Structure formats: structure tokens, C-alpha cells
Amino acid sequence: MTTVPQPTAETRWRCTLCGNLTRFDVTRSSKVVEYVHLDLAGEPTVEEREVLSETIESVRCRWCNAVDQIELVDRPGTAS
């Protein structure tokens, strides 16, 4: 399994098969520390969340269902 690079302020994802730029299903693994507050009825609320590590495992195009066909391209208006 190869990891998929995460988009930056200068880049975004694009499906190489259909050209989709806006709709993707992302599978990620995260290791987080959360501060959970329970109200008197026992209902939990996450009040703070710190992401210790995160890896994007796969990105699937919502338009054509392609997996492992996602590339990073420049965002419009950014100088490369």
C-alpha cells in the first residue's frame, strides 16, 4: 500500500482518468489524543483534539471510482 500525498496550499488532487477535481473518498489512519467531556447524562463531547500522526492510505474518485489514479496538480493562481 502506498500513501497518497496530501494537498497543500499550492496543490490539489485530480483524477487522472476522468479529470475530477472536487469529489473524493479518502481513507486515512490517524493517531489522536482527545479531551472528552461527559455531561451529567453521560453524553460525550470531544472538546479538544490533537492529531499526533495521520496517513492518507487511499483516495478514490467519486465520479469514476478510480483508485490509485489521483495526482497532485497546481491550484489555479499559484505560481509554480
The pLDDT tens digits of the residues spanning 26-80 come to 999 999 999 999 999 999 999 999 999 999 999 999 999 998 899 999 998 876 5
The answer to whether 28 touches 57, Cβ cutoff 8 Å, is yes
Q: With 70 as the cut, is the pLDDT of residue 3 above it? A: no
Measure Cα distances from 59 to 11, 36, 46 in Å. 15, 30, 27
C-alpha cell recorded at residue 77: 493562481
What's the start-to-end Cα distance of the chain, in Å? 29
Question: Please, what's the b/e burial string for 1-18 (b: 16 or more CB within 10 A of its CB; e: otherwise)?
Answer: eeebeebeeebbbbbeee
